[in-house]
Amino acid sequence: MSHLVIQRTVVRMLYDAAFARAVYADREAALAGLELTPAERDALVRPDPRAYATDPYRRARALHGLLMEYPASAWLASRATRDVRKLDAFFSAPEFHDCIATRGSLAAAFAAYLQHTPFGDARIVSLARLESAIARVRRAPHRPGVHQTPPRPARGGDLLELSPRHAVVELPSGTAALYEAIASHVRSGGDDVSAFLLRDLTRLSRFNVPFDTSTFAFLHIENTLEGSVAIAAATPELAQLLMFAAAGRTRSALASQACDLGAEPDEATAILDDLLRDGILIP
Amino acid sequence: MRFCDRITKLPALGIGVSTEYGAGDTPHALDPIALHAEQPRYARFLEVGIETAKGLDRHARAWIARGLPATYHFLDVNLDEPEDLDEAWLDAVRGFAAEIRPAWLCGDAGLWHFGKRERGHMLLLPPVLTNDAASALADGICALRDATGFEVFPENPPGQVFVGDLHVLDFFSRVCERADTGMLLDCAHLGIAQRMTGHELLDGLDGFPCERIIEMHVAGGTVREHEGFAFVEDDHHTGVLPPTWRIFEHAVARARNLRAVVFECERNASDRCIPGFERIAAMLSRGGHEALVPS
C-alpha cells in the first residue's frame, strides 16, 4: 500500500514548506525510514515545487480550528510565546508529522505538541490534557439530526467499557476552574479565535484562579446527548472504576474492582447498573 | 451483471445542479427548487454533496420532500483506504441514501481527509496515480457498491500536486475497468490536471473508454498565481474557463452513455448561472444528447 505512504508524504509536504524543501534538496535523507521505492521518491519531487505551496493559508486555517478546540491552553501558550502565530510551528513539529504518517488525530497531536513544548508554564500542560479529553469525547458519535452509529455488535462475554462520550482525567487542582475562566474569556472574543488571541492583552492575574500542582483532582468529562460537553468533579472511587473500565472489562471484574474501592457487593451491582443505564458504561 | 448491462437501468437525468450543506444559505445563492420551477430543463435533478457528520440541510431536504430526482455525492470517504469504509460510515450513507433515493452515488475519488474521518482533517487531494492505487480505489468502489446497493461512479478530483507515473485518464480507465463501473468526468478538474502535469488539454481522452462516462461536471475556475506559479482554483464560479468548455465539448460527443450533467454553480445567483446552463444544453444537443435537454 505504498500509495498511502506517498499520499501521506504529500500531505506533510503541503503543510510543511521546510519539509518540502528538504525533500526536494535531498529526498533520500528527508524520506529516510519510509517504505518508498526510489521511483516513488522521485515522483514526489517531479511537480513544480511551488505546486506544494499554492495554498498559503492552509496552516492558518488548520491552526484556527485547533485554537477553537484548545482555547485555554492556546491562550496561555500565546502569553508564553508573546505571539499566538508561533503555535504555527506545530505543523513542522514531529507530533504533526507522526500524526499524518500514522493516520492519527490532529487534535491529539496538537495536545501532545502543547505538552511537549517547553513553554515554561505547567498550566499549559494540564489545560492541554483537559482540552484533549474534551476534544476526544466531542468526536464520539451522537449528533442530533444525522444518522447515528449503530450499536456495536456484542464482543462476546459480558465485557463493558467506558463510553467514548465519557472521559476521566486526573489533573492538578484548579485546572477545571482555570479552563472555565480562560475558555469563557476567549469565547467572549467572538468566533475569530485567532484574531482575538492576537489582540488580547488580558493578564492571567485577572482570572484569579488558584492552581496547585501538588494536589490532584479527578474530572469526569461528558459529551451530553444535547451535544454540549460537561465537566464535573469525580470522586476518586468513581474515577478509578471508570479508568479501570476504559480498556473493557468483564462485569464481574468491574464489580470486584468496585468492591476493592470500598463498595459493598450489592452496592457494586447497583453502581454498575446505574453506569449502564446512564450510558457511561457500554457493552 | 456486467456494467454494460447494468447501464441500461440507469435513468437519464439530464442537466442538474449541485449543492452541499450550507451552500444554499450563501447570500443570493441559486435556489434549486425555484430554478426547477422556472427553468426545469436546467434543474432536473439535484446532486447532493454529503458529509455524513453534517447531514442534509433544509434546502436539500426541501428538494427531497418534493420527490424530485437526486444523486448522492460523497464528500468524506477515501475509497482507496479500506479502513475508511467502516460500518458506522456505511450505515450513515445507507441512511442518507434511503432518504434521498439517489439514482447513484458519486464523488471525487481522492483523499478527502488525512487520518481518520475527524473534524479538522478535511481536504481534497487527487489520488496517487499508480497502478496499485488504481486497484485499491477499484476495491473501495466495489465495497461501497456492495454495501449500499447503488452504483458508485468515481470522479477525477482537482488538485495542484499530481504524483504518480500514470496519466489521470489512464488511471481512471484502470479504475473503471477493475471496478466494472462508470465514471463521473469533471471537465474543470481534468483541465487542471492536464495543466499541472504538463499535458495538452485533450491528451488521453481518445484512448479513454468514453462509453463509461455516465455523468459530467462543468464548473467555473479562476487562474491564480503564487510565487510566479500559475494555477487554476476550482472555485465553482460561473466563469467557466475555455479549456473546460473544450474538454466538455470533446467528451460529450464521445460519451454515448451519458446520463447527467451538473453545472456546479451552487453559490452563485441564478441569473448569472443561466448562460452556463444554456451553453451546456446547446453542447449536449450538438453532441447527440437531445434526450437530456427536453424543450
Q: What is the pLDDT of residues A201-210, one digit of tens each?
A: 888 888 888 9
Nearest chain B CA: its distance from A265 CA (Å) = 37
pLDDT at A230 over 70: yes
**Is A37 in the B-facing interface, judged by CB distances under 8 Å?**
no
pLDDT at B197 over 80: yes
| Cα B134 from Cα B117, distance rounded (Å) | 22
Nearest chain B CA: its distance from A38 CA (Å) = 12
Q: What is the pLDDT of residue A198?
A: 87
**Is B123 in the A-facing interface, judged by CB distances under 8 Å?**
yes
DSSP 8-state symbol, B15: E
CB B155 within 8 A of CB B106: yes
CB contacts of B121 in chain A (<8 Å) are 106
| Cα A166 from Cα A136, distance rounded (Å) | 9
Q: Which amino acid is at A94?
A: P
What are the φ and ψ backbone dihedral angles of A138, each rounded to 5 degrees? -65, -30
Q: What is the pLDDT of residue B214?
A: 98
Residue in A1, A43, A56 nearest the CB of B165: A43
Beta bridge partners of B258: none
**Is B66 in the A-facing interface, judged by CB distances under 8 Å?**
no
Chain A interface, mutation test: which of B50, B163, B194, B199, most A Cβ atoms within 10 Å? B163
Residue in A46, A53, A105 nearest the CB of B226: A53
Q: What is the pLDDT of residue A150?
A: 45
pLDDT at B44 over 80: yes
- Mean pLDDT over A159-181 rounds to 96
Given the cut 0.90, state whether the ipTM is greater than it: yes
Beta bridge partners of B106: B73, B153
Q: What is the pLDDT of residue A264?
A: 95
| Cα A44 from Cα B163, distance rounded (Å) | 6
- Mean pLDDT over A251-273 rounds to 96
Q: How confident is the model at residue A1 (pLDDT cuts 50, 70, 90)?
A: low
How many whole angstroms from its chain centre is CA B207? 21
Q: What is the pLDDT of residue A152?
A: 52
**Is A232 in the B-facing interface, judged by CB distances under 8 Å?**
no
Nearest chain A CA: its distance from B265 CA (Å) = 22
Nearest chain A CA: its distance from B132 CA (Å) = 7
Q: What is the pLDDT of residues B45-73, one digit of tens each?
A: 999 999 999 999 999 999 999 999 999 99
| Cα B181 from Cα B168, distance rounded (Å) | 17
CB B124 within 8 A of CB B73: no
Q: What is the pLDDT of residues A75-100, one digit of tens each?
A: 999 989 888 889 999 999 999 999 99
pLDDT at A146 over 50: no
- Mean pLDDT over B123-137 rounds to 97
Nearest chain B CA: its distance from A10 CA (Å) = 8
**Is A248 in the B-facing interface, judged by CB distances under 8 Å?**
no
CB B88 within 8 A of CB A149: yes
Q: What is the pLDDT of residue A201?
A: 84
Q: What is the pLDDT of residue A94?
A: 97
**Is A45 in the B-facing interface, judged by CB distances under 8 Å?**
no
Instruction: Give Cα separations from B255 to A118, A197, B288 (angstroms).
Output: 60, 54, 10
Instruction: Give Cα separations from A282 to A252, B232, B237 (angstroms).
Output: 15, 50, 48
pLDDT at B263 over 80: yes
Q: Do B120 and A69 touch (CB under 8 A)?
A: yes
What are the φ and ψ backbone dihedral angles of B21, each rounded to 5 degrees? -55, 120
Residue in B120, B162, B226 nearest the CB of A54: B226
Q: Do A10 and B161 touch (CB under 8 A)?
A: yes
Q: Do A150 and B226 touch (CB under 8 A)?
A: no
Please report how the helices A251-260 and A236-245 are oriented relative to each other, as an axis angle in degrees rounded to 10.
150
- Cβ–Cβ contacts within 10 Å for residue B139, how many? 17
pLDDT at A127 over 60: yes
Q: What is the pLDDT of residue A151?
A: 46
| Cα B79 from Cα B97, distance rounded (Å) | 18
| Cα B174 from Cα B280, distance rounded (Å) | 28
Q: What is the pLDDT of residue A143?
A: 46
Q: What is the pLDDT of residue A49?
A: 97
pLDDT at A9 over 90: yes
Nearest chain B CA: its distance from A213 CA (Å) = 32
> In the β-sheet with A212-223, what is the strand arrangement from edge to edge?
A166-173, A212-223, A229-234
**Is A164 in the B-facing interface, judged by CB distances under 8 Å?**
no
Taking Cα atoms as reference points, which of A82, A105, A81, A84 lies closest to residue A95?
A105
- Mean pLDDT over A149-168 rounds to 75
B121's grid cell: 482533517
Q: What is the pLDDT of residue A32?
A: 95
Measured at the CA of A5, the angle between CA A139 and CA A129, to 5 degrees, comes to 30
Q: Do A50 and B227 touch (CB under 8 A)?
A: yes
Q: Do B87 and A106 touch (CB under 8 A)?
A: no
Q: How confident is the model at residue A142 (pLDDT cuts 50, 70, 90)?
A: low
What are the φ and ψ backbone dihedral angles of A47, each rounded to 5 degrees? -65, 155
pLDDT at B18 over 90: yes
Q: Which residue of B has its CA nearest to A150?
A: B88
Using only C-alpha atoms, chain A has a radius of gyration, in whole angstroms, of 22
Residue in B120, B128, B163 nearest the CB of A106: B120
Q: What is the pLDDT of residue B95?
A: 97
Q: How confident is the model at residue A280 (pLDDT cuts 50, 70, 90)?
A: very high
Q: Do A3 and B165 touch (CB under 8 A)?
A: no
CB contacts of A68 in chain B (<8 Å) are none
Q: Do A147 and B127 touch (CB under 8 A)?
A: no
Kindly report the average pLDDT of chain B as a whole number: 96
pLDDT at B43 over 80: yes
Q: How confident is the model at residue A225 (pLDDT cuts 50, 70, 90)?
A: confident
Q: Do A7 and B130 touch (CB under 8 A)?
A: no
pLDDT at B17 over 50: yes
- Cβ–Cβ contacts within 10 Å for residue A98, how many? 12
Q: What is the pLDDT of residues B70-107, one digit of tens each?
A: 999 999 999 999 999 999 999 999 999 999 999 999 99
Nearest chain A CA: its distance from B248 CA (Å) = 25
Q: Which amino acid is at A198?
A: L
pTM of the model: 0.92
- Mean pLDDT over A230-240 rounds to 96
Q: What is the pLDDT of residue A204?
A: 83
pLDDT at A154 over 80: no
**With 0-12 CB in 10 A as exposed, 13-18 as middle and 19+ as buried, what is B233?**
middle
